[in-house]
Amino acid sequence: MMQRNEFLAIARQYVEEEDFQGNFAKEVYRKLLSGTDAKLILDSYRNEEEKYQKLAKLYHGDLYHMDLERDEEKKLLSDYIRQLKLQKIEAKIREVTDAEGLSLCFKERDKWEHFVFG
């Protein structure tokens, strides 16, 4: 997502900032959505070693640098979006205490378990 604007455009359709669990991930996603270049985002964390290392792994391990077929790229992006959504839903399930809320969470989880874009 950090390297390909087309992937960011797809993610934007499905992923919200609130889907990310950590503040750092939310901050990076917000910057990407605002149009900030991924390399500039990476460079902006040079003085924060732990954050820089995490982001460098994402940046350098991104699909852009892999030699994948188009279908494989789409599958990996779908898997990432699905995993992100399911993590958020599982966290919500642990917090919900009423039956109706749980039912809604389970329906949402069922929807995302089989998600594939395109």
Provide the pLDDT for residue 114. 92
Please determine, for residue 1, whether its predicted confidence score (pLDDT) is greater than 60.
no
Provide the pLDDT for residue 4. 63
**Which tokens sit at 30?**
């917000």
Q: Sort 2 into a burial class: Cβ within 10 Å, 0-12 / 13-18 / 19+.
A: buried
pTM, full prediction: 0.77
Instruction: Give, to the nearest 10 degrees, the angle between helix 99-113 and helix 70-95.
Output: 170
- Round to whole Å and give the CA distance between 108 and 96: 14
Please determine, for residue 83, whether its predicted confidence score (pLDDT) is greater than 80.
yes
- What percent of the chain shows pLDDT beyond 90? 56
Q: Domain map of the chain by residue range?
A: 5-113
- Round to whole Å and give the CA distance between 50 and 47: 9
- The count of other CB atoms within 10 Å of the CB of residue 115 is 14
| List of E strands, 8-53 | none
Residues 7-33: pLDDT tens digits? Answer: 888 889 999 999 998 899 999 999 999
Return the exposure string of 9-30: e unless at least 16 CB atoms fall within 10 Å of the residue's CB, then b.
ebbeebbeeebbeeeebeebbe
Residues 26-70: pLDDT tens digits? Answer: 999 999 999 998 889 999 999 999 999 888 887 766 544 455 566
